[in-house]
Amino acid sequence: MLRIGTRKSKLALWQANFIKEKLEEKGYQAELRLITTTGDKILDSPLAKIGGKGLFVKEIEEALLRGEIDLAVHSLKDVPMVLPEGLTLGAITERESPFDVLLSREGKRLEELPEGAIVGTSSLRRQVQIKRKRPDLRVEILRGNVDTRIRKMEEGLYDAIVLAYAGVKRMGLENRITQVLEDFIPAVGQGSLAIEIREEDERLKEIIGFLDHRESRLRAECERTFLRELQGGCQVPIGAYAWIEGDTLKLKAFISDLKGERFIEGYKEGQKDKAQEIGKGLAHKMLKEGAQEILRSIYGSFGK
């Protein structure tokens, strides 16, 4: 029996059950083990102020290291760039659309929202990109699962909200999407699932090997290397998007200060089997172009 560790939200359960069904189709027995993470408990503060990405995986990783579960299913965008010693990403699934989407109460697109309209999101990356396109809008913090966020919008607390396309689709709510924000640079890894296992577990690596999608892994490695080299976290508005055309892997990315006043974009491409080199190269290029100063000013302000 394979024990799958997961968070308890509807989306997390959908994702874990998706992997469970894939394993069962191959003849393996599997069961879910539900784990509450720190990120699930603290819902009234921005992620940047309470610790960032690891909040949604730490307790699950600890259960994995203790041997209480055999594998963990995460949204790849929630997985920190550096994994705990002894753990590895055994599979990265085929990527769903990585883009953000706008849901609005009156069916208005971002450019059609009235001046002063309230847009909800918990992401600094999304906040900055909204403000750059519509500085006249009010962007306010919104946390909670997909259903909760939609309900708050319907109750009139927000005129529109921004979510990940992948999560909305997995919840069967595509009909609620007003606009796909394809000109927004998405979060690193957004759209893929990550299956985390113990590094020493060779048998499990073989079992889940069929779930690993090579092109999605190359894209993820490129984006994650970029972010790791930049040493960015949830306190910094950063986006990166890698895609493959033929044998060429292309990467575009941005980093911004918290107000969106200093906004640095970058682009790099190369052979697709050089994914990590492309990510590293773009990170170093952008650091020289001013990203270093942005990081210093943001981390300095958080330390005050």
Pick the catalytic residue: 70, 78, 100, 159?
A: 78
Half-sphere exposure of 17 (CA within 13 A, CB side): 9
Q: Give kind and range of the element (H or E) at residue 266.
A: strand 263-271
> Under DSSP, is residue 130 helix (H, G, I), strand (E, B) or coil?
helix
Long-range contacts of 83-89 (CB under 8 A, 24+ apart): 83/196, 86/198, 86/199, 86/200, 87/61, 87/196, 87/197, 87/198, 87/199, 88/196, 88/197, 88/198, 88/199, 89/194, 89/195, 89/196
What secondary structure letter does DSSP report for 284? H
User: Can you tell me whether residue 16 is helix, strand or coil?
Assistant: helix
What sign for the dihedral angle of Cα 64, 35, 148, 167? positive
- Beta bridge partners of residue 226, listed in sequence order: none
Integer Cα distance of 87 and 90 in angstroms: 9
- Rounded to whole angstroms, the Cα distance separating 246 from 269 reads 12
CA distance 75 to 289: 31
Distance from CA of residue 247 to its chain's centroid? 25
The verdict on whether 78 is a catalytic residue reads yes
Residues 238, 254: Cα–Cα separation, whole Å: 6
Rg for the chain, CA atoms, rounded: 19
Amino acid at 295: L
Active site residues: 78
